[in-house]
Structure formats: C-alpha cells, structure tokens
A and B are shown apart, each in its own frame.
Chain A
Amino acid sequence: DSGVTQTPKHLITATGQRVTLRCSPRSGDLSVYWYQQSLDQGLQFLIQYYNGEERAKGNILERFSAQQFPDLHSELNLSSLELGDSALYFCASSVAVGHQYEQYFGPGTRLTVT
C-alpha cells in the first residue's frame, strides 16, 4: 500500500459522458501527478499539481481537466468521453517539487467507455 488512494476503482460509462476521478495523496505530500495507461499509448504523463497550482502539463486532451483542492486531494475530469479514453488512470504523489523526490503511485481507476 503506497498511501495514495484513488476512487472509484472501476468506472463504466458511455461515450459522450463526463466522469470525475479522485485521488488522495499520501499524508504530507504536496505534489500530485496524473498518468494514463492505455494499450496503444502505454503509460503517459498527463498533468502535475503542486500545492493547488498546476505545475506541468503533458499529453492531456482539452476535454480533460484537473484540479488540486486546498486539502490537497485532486480530481481529474474527463468529458465528452470517447472509446479511446478507456484506460487505467493512475495518480501519484510526492512530498515536494524536485526530481529527487520519489513518486508514489495509487492503485488506479480503470475507466471503460462503451
């Protein structure tokens, strides 16, 4: 158990819908990262937040957005869902900003778009 929690564990929804994935970082961690793992794209970095502010952006679609709240939990919002958005979405957290800080991964949310 890494200490990072993600809910829900599984999500099945239809195309065109909108979903919200939730991540709670390890206690004391200020930085949250979102990654997408899909069969065709592999594991890809989406976005990073640090202490409530967006820090870095990766290959995140415009239909996707995220935020980090004052209690440091983060939500990833996926809208106008397409079949290709089906994937495992991981959240990771680290204590601070800096390459030397290990990222701890949560168990992931498996999203299936039908």
Chain B
Amino acid sequence: AQSVSQHNHHVILSEAASLELGCNYSYGGTVNLFWYVQYPGQHLQLLLKYFSGDPLVKGIKGFEAEFIKSKFSFNLRKPSVQWSDTAEYFCAVIPLNTGFQKLVFGTGTRLLVSP
C-alpha cells in the first residue's frame, strides 16, 4: 500500500547533538513533501516543504531537509538541537496524481532533547 514511513519512533538526544530523522514514501508519481512539528499541547506547525527545484530545503528554526528522488526519501536534519526542539515530528506527502490536497502523514517521531 502507498504510505509514508518514519523509521525512528523515539529519538533521545543531548543538546547540541546533530539530528537526522528519516522519512520514506512509496508513491510513484510526483509528490509534494512536508515536515510538520507538534510541540507538547500545541497544534501542528509547518517546518518546511518541498515542491520542486533545489532538493535541499531550508525551513524555520534551523531545520533543513533533503529530497532524494531515487531513494524516495525526505530526511529532516538540524546540525545542533536545543531543548526547545523537544516535540513530535511528522513527515507528510501530498501525492499530486490524485488531484486532491490531502496530506498523508507518517507515524511521527518523538524527539526528546535533554539539557
């Protein structure tokens, strides 16, 4: 079945460590790609998105993601995490061949950054 996979369900890092969260999707056609963050008790916020062009996308709060088409991947990275990055991170895809705008989400990765 077509889906979005996030391999790490829980990640624990110390402040200043580097972060990479994996995301793979299984849609064959053109997709739009997103990373959302959900801080404790808050709504989903868009971190960054990729539609086309430069496969390295920079988002808010120092996050970036790289689209690798051949690997169907869109991994999220941050060189140095802070305690305030503790949150749940969701990768999401909009498959463009459906003609609709529904976001298909991965299962999420809970990140805990210890001070």
Q: Which residues of A are interface residues toward B (Cβ below 8 A)?
A: 2, 4, 31, 33, 35, 42-45, 48, 55-56, 58, 90, 92, 94, 97-103, 105-108
Contact = CB atoms under 8 A, between A and B. Distances in A.
B83 interface: no
Interface size class of B (residues with CB under 8 A): 20 to 34
A55 B101 CA distance: 9
Contact of A43 (B32, B43, B46, B108): B108
A107 B42 contact: yes
B46 A102 contact: yes
Contacts of A55: 100
Contacts, number: 55
B101 A44 contact: no
Interface of B: 32, 36, 42-46, 49, 51, 90, 94, 96, 100-108
Contacts of A98: 101
A45 B105 CA distance: 9
Contacts of B32: 99-100
Given A45-B103, A99-B101, A106 B43 contact: yes
Given A4-B43, A101-B101, 6 more contacts: A31-B101, A48-B102, A94-B101, A100-B32, A102-B46, A107-B42
A33 B102 contact: yes
B108 A42 contact: yes
B43 A105 contact: yes
A98 B43 CA distance: 22
Contacts of A94: 101
Nearest to A42: B107
B43 A107 contact: yes
9 tightest Cβ-Cβ pairs between the two chains A and B:
A43-B105, A105-B44, A56-B100, A45-B102, A105-B43, A107-B43, A42-B107, A99-B94, A99-B32
Nearest to A98: B101
B102 A90 contact: no
